[in-house]
């Protein structure tokens, strides 16, 4: 029996996945802004926050979820943690204009609570498509939630600065977990460690440069 005859009529005439068929970030982000998969988040948010940065960024940063200021402005990492992230990037010779920044969730959870598993599942196809379109060399996972989304059995305190390779959309990328910049805002004593960890991004980029 051929593969074709084993398909159900529903399979044969199922419409294509609109996320997978997006050819550009602009097109994909339009879908994200109109998403209502998570009823609570869609009702609570001021607007969805798809992400920001160039479509060919070598480095993608993934945080947890938009906060109050991100929800208002529609841009990721624009609060205190965002200012600190900008400072960290400058220390290692990068600018925000060079990198793409997004989150596991594209909508602010009520009262900034932790993302729920179904919400992360609903957002996962958007994030995967972003990575497939951008094709970055390095994906920086900022904090516990971002790490656990891709590596659920690992702890951020043990996984931080340990690079690992992963293929997304047919493109191999280096995933690099790091402590979230927000820790440096809440605990000033952690800033030296956070800054030390961020230098690992520069090390990875320099190592990749020597191979090309």
Helix intervals (H) in the chain = 3-6, 9-12, 25-33, 39-44, 68-73, 80-91, 117-134, 144-150, 156-159, 182-186, 191-211
Q: Token pair 């199922």 is at which residue?
A: 14
Query: What CATH number is attached to the domain comprising 196?
Result: 3.40.470.10
Which residues on neighbouring strands pair with residue 164, listed in sequence order? 175
Total structural domains within the chain: 1
Q: Which residue range is the domain that position 80 belongs to?
A: 3-211
pLDDT 10s digits, 14-65: 567 999 999 999 999 999 999 999 999 999 999 999 999 999 999 999 999 9
* Burial letters 158-197, b for 16+ CB under 10 A, else e: ebbbeeeeeebeeeebbbbbbbbbbbbbeeeeebeebbeb
Query: Which pLDDT value is given to residue 3?
Result: 39
pLDDT 10s digits, 18-31: 999 999 999 999 99
Indicate the DSSP class of residue 180.
Answer: -
Cβ-proximal residues to 110 (8 Å cutoff; 6+ apart), any chain:
40, 41, 44
């Amino acid at each position: 029996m051929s593969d074709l005859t084993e398909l159900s009529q529903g399979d044969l005439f199922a419409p294509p996945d609109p996320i997978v068929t997006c050819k550009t970030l602009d097109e994909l982000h339009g879908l994200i802004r109109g998403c209502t998969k998570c009823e609570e988040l869609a009702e609570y948010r001021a607007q969805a926050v798809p992400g920001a940065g160039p479509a060919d960024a070598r480095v993608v940063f993934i945080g947890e979820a938009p906060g109050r200021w991100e929800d208002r402005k529609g841009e990721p990492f624009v609060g205190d943690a965002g200012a600190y992230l900008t400072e960290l990037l400058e220390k290692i010779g990068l600018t925000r204009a060079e990198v793409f920044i997004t989150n596991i969730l594209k909508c602010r959870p009520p009262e900034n609570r932790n993302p729920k598993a179904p919400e992360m599942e609903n957002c996962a196809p958007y994030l995967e498509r972003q990575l497939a379109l951008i094709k970055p060399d390095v994906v920086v996972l900022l904090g516990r939630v971002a790490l656990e989304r891709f590596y659920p059995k690992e702890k951020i305190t043990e996984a931080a600065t340990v690079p690992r390779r992963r293929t997304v959309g047919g493109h191999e990328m280096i995933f690099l977990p790091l402590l979230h910049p927000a820790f440096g805002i809440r605990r000033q004593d952690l800033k030296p460690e956070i800054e030390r960890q961020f230098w690992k991004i520069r090390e990875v980029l320099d190592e990749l440069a020597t191979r090309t």
